[in-house]
A and B are shown apart, each in its own frame.
Chain A
Amino acid sequence: MASTSTAPTTDGHALAPLSERQAEAAADSIGRLSAALNAVLFGQERLIEMVIVGLLARGHILLEGLPGLGKTELVKGLSKALALVSKRVQFTPDLLPGDITGNPVLEEVDGKRRFVFQPGPVFANILLADEINRASPKTQSAMLEAMQERRVTVMGQTHPLPAPFFVLATQNPIELEGTYPLPEAQLDRFLFKLDVKSNDVDTLERIVLHREIGVEPAVPQVMDAAELEMLLDHVRRVYMPPTVANYIARLVQATHPGGPHAAGVKFGASPRAALALAAAAKARALCDRRINASYEDVRGVAAAVLRHRVVLDYGARLEGVTTDALVARLLEQVPAQDRPLPASLAAAKV
């Protein structure tokens, strides 16, 4: 059935509602991309799903996991499957901002010397910022404008980044000596923070059987940039019911200290987190062939969106409370419908 109403917008312009047929077609494309990535990276279906959702939500992703789990392979596979330009930067303490954004180089053109901007690795569709927490805060902050504004300003000149532009950063949870933890402001720029889990025996067996050191797996191109842009447009047109928006608002509000559910929280999630939840929920709904976001979508992406945005206080950390546990508790305690029930009625266990 064709939708008759207009989906709410985020930029003040009415967007044409997404039809179910369009959602089906988009979901098929996403399915092909997912299959291609799963052929590259074994046993990380959940990670791949969340990375795709993050991409469709136009978000940057922070991957946290041990070395050798396939983070770089995932980015390479993604760029190949989407036929996008990807670049990789290994962040080190001596890395300078210009090493990422690019530097003006003095060149002689037509007999005159002038500075010509040499784009850095940030000028790519997908930037893999490996071990981002090893760079100095100055260098990390160079990423802020690129991630948020999708542009780079060097010597007073602003250079737009190619579209689409995604940053997939990694950080190592061990060997924290000599690292610079990402500041909250920069963490907030990441849509998701995903934990890359270790592989189980079956997955390792598959890797041993089908992979070889030094030989990169062949990844077919499943869509081009235009199709990706269309998918991104489709995500924007996914309907966000007011009740789901209300659920997102209550969920984010519940992370703030002082609330009944936020014991041990020092700083709660920002409004950007609410926007991230909404965008990710829409993307997830499209992956699920739906034209509307739902409470389930919000719950599905809540941990990835909120775990790096909520700061626990010292006491909670001493007690071993994690942000994942906190978010799980919030999801249990904040229902889709928060109106209380009379004493003579009990909510069904869903």
Chain B
Amino acid sequence: MSLDDRLSARFWKAAVRRLAVEINLGWWLSAWLPMAAVVALAGMVAMLQVRWRAGEAAAWVWVGIAAALAVAAVIAWWQARSRFESEAAARVRLEDALGLKARLTSATDGVGPWPEPVPRQSMTWPVSWKWRKPAAVVGCLGSLLVLAWLVPIAGASVARRHVIEKPADARMVEQWIDELRREDLVDERSADEVERKIKELTERPAEEWYEHASLEAAGTLKEQTASEMREMAENVAAAAQAAAALEAMQDSLPAPLREALANQLAAAMQDLERGEFKPAGDLAALLRDLEPADLGQLSPEQLAALAKRLAANRRALAAALANCEGFDLGDVDGWCDACSGCKPCGECAGCKAGKGCLKKCAACGRCQGGRPGRGGITRGRGDAELSFGEENDLGEKRIERIQKPIDVDRAAPDEVLAVVDGEHEVDESAYTGPRAGGGIAGEGDGGSAVQVDALLPAEQSAVRRFFE
């Protein structure tokens, strides 16, 4: 075999192999595409599911899809191999398409030389790809997968949280506890106890949160927590007020009064200790260190420090409670927003008699150891100052007013908006058809038979016979 013949043989054998591979690839593709479609659709569903349940695991879905496609490729090859074209068959196809007059087969059989190689560009290749359909299928499936990967989707947990909100009372209590905890005003165990109760409520199925019993429980928890917070505020206010009085009138105070104030301070601090909401931080440590019996023996410096600490705690508590949505502190003795703790003057008769300051507070100018109208720690509450405003201003944002008789905006779909009695306007003088003249027995109505009863039986039978 000459060199040229060897080159020709190599060229044609490569061409035959290429054709066989191309055809076999087509068979493999026709077996693989349906499987790939199934895998892609399943992958799309899996992608959406995984993204919905656990978004960070979505990348693994791609790995799974790739693995499934690879397995499908192997199965497709196994299925399609019975249809694969041998090189001999591809050779026939090639030589027939190129008009080589069976010279490739003959040369392969050792008869005659191999034909001269044909330039690729001038070669009529026996088969051509119909890419449109496979490409469209692959493109659609890829698009579906990418769509499933990119389409915005809420996670299942987020969706669940958004679907059913906790009852408003429970949310309020949570917010109160958070507020107190952020300001370090309440002892951790007290806060944890409340949170445990909230958790007990919310551990029930979300569908049951709005049942009557659950709402009742949440409301009770809210009232109980509010009551405890109010009690803590009263105790803090009472302790702060007593400490301030002791500090201000330490020397001038008679011994019985001083002892009464010390007892009041001790009682308030004991109530703080016993309350459901216990103070947190250094105030709690201070309360633990102080013996109620020793309160009367405190040095001026110690008393000043205690008063200062209690006043600071009261201010912080006031600020925190002010941020608690839905919480109403109510009337608490010694609670003044303006001066953050009014001090008795120590000079008036009331102070000297131990019956409370009779002068107005120098800081706020309104109270005497309390809110306006209060006469001091022993006088109880007085009348609050009256204020003028709109009669219909009920202290809320929304102003109520009488609804209009017909409010179209609020009308229900089947609601009758109005019923009006009326009559049609009838023209009495209009022509209503012939009434008289011309021998017409009755009034003419369109479509009515005019002769029904106008014929005698004999005439009727004559007419019937005629038409028969």
Contacts and interface: CB of A to CB of B under 8 A. Distances in A.
B109 A344 contact: no
A122 B444 CA distance: 112
Contacts of B105: 241-244, 292
Interface string A314-350: 0000000000000000000001110111111111101
A20 B92 CA distance: 22
Contacts of A17: 111
A285 B27 CA distance: 35
Interface in B107-135: 109-113, 124-131, 133-134
B88 interface: yes
A239 B111 contact: yes
B299 interface: no
6 contacts: A5-B110, A291-B111, A341-B127, A342-B29, A342-B30, A346-B130
A344 B131 contact: yes
A296 B99 CA distance: 8
A348 B30 contact: no
A60 B128 CA distance: 44
B5 interface: yes
A156 B92 CA distance: 51
A290 B105 CA distance: 13
Given A296-B101, A336-B92, A3 B128 contact: no
Given A241-B102, A244-B102, A3 B127 contact: no
Interface in A254-294: 285, 288, 290-294
B96 A239 contact: no
A295 interface: yes
A281 to B, nearest CB: 10
Given A3-B111, A348-B128, A350-B96, A341 B26 contact: yes
A239 B109 contact: yes
A109 interface: no
Interface in A2-24: 3-5, 7, 17, 20
Q: Which 9 A-B pairs have the closest CB atoms?
A: A342-B26, A5-B110, A294-B101, A294-B102, A336-B96, A292-B106, A337-B93, A239-B111, A1-B113
A348 B110 contact: no
A344 B129 contact: yes
Nearest to B103: A292
B89 interface: yes
B85 A339 contact: yes
B402 to A, nearest CB: 78
Nearest to B132: A344
A343 B130 contact: yes
A5 B105 CA distance: 13
B124 A241 contact: no
A350 B125 CA distance: 9
B127 A243 contact: no
Given A296-B99, A336-B96, A342-B29, A5 B111 contact: yes
Given A342-B26, A346-B127, A348-B126, A5 B109 contact: yes
A1 B30 CA distance: 43
B154 to A, nearest CB: 41
Contacts of B1: 1
Given A290-B101, A348-B127, A1 B5 contact: yes
Contacts of B16: none
Contacts, number: 118
A347 B126 contact: yes
Interface residues of A, number: 36
Interface of A: 1, 3-5, 7, 17, 20, 239, 241-244, 285, 288, 290-297, 335-337, 339-348, 350
Contact of B89 (A291, A339, A344): A339
Contacts of B22: 345
A348 B124 contact: yes
Contacts of B93: 336-337, 339
A122 B110 CA distance: 43
A244 to B, nearest CB: 5
Contacts of A290: 101, 103, 112
Given A292-B111, A336-B92, A345-B128, A241 B29 contact: no
Given A347-B126, A348-B124, A241 B23 contact: no
Interface of B: 1-2, 5, 22-23, 26-27, 29-30, 83, 85, 88-89, 91-93, 96-97, 99-103, 105-106, 109-113, 124-131, 133-134
Given A1-B5, A243-B92, A344 B110 contact: no
A210 to B, nearest CB: 36
Interface of A is mostly: loop
B96 A295 contact: yes
B97 A348 contact: yes
Contact of A239 (B2, B97, B106, B126): B106
A241 B106 contact: yes
A3 B22 CA distance: 32
Nearest to B98: A350
Contact of B112 (A239, A339, A347, A348): A239
Given A291-B106, A336-B92, A337-B96, 18 more contacts: A1-B113, A5-B109, A5-B110, A242-B109, A243-B88, A243-B92, A292-B103, A292-B105, A297-B101, A340-B83, A343-B130, A343-B133, A344-B30, A345-B22, A345-B26, A345-B127, A347-B97, A348-B128
Given A296-B101, A342-B26, A291 B112 contact: yes
Contacts of A1: 1-2, 5, 112-113
A341 B23 contact: yes
B127 A347 contact: yes
A296 B102 CA distance: 9
Contact of A7 (B27, B97, B111): B111
Candidate in A4, A20, A290, A292 with the most chain B CB atoms within 10 angstroms: A292
A291 B103 CA distance: 9
Contacts of A293: 102
Contacts of A244: 102, 105
B29 A344 contact: yes
Contacts of B29: 342, 344
Contacts of B129: 344-346
Nearest to A285: B101
A300 to B, nearest CB: 11
Nearest to A23: B112
Nearest to A241: B105
A20 to B, nearest CB: 7
A262 to B, nearest CB: 22
Given A292-B111, A337-B89, A350-B124, A345 B96 contact: no
Given A1-B5, A241-B105, A344 B133 contact: yes
A345 B29 CA distance: 10
A177 to B, nearest CB: 46
A343 B100 CA distance: 26
Contacts of B110: 3-5
B110 to A, nearest CB: 3
Contacts of B83: 340, 342
Nearest to A292: B106
Given A291-B106, A336-B93, A342-B23, A3 B112 contact: yes
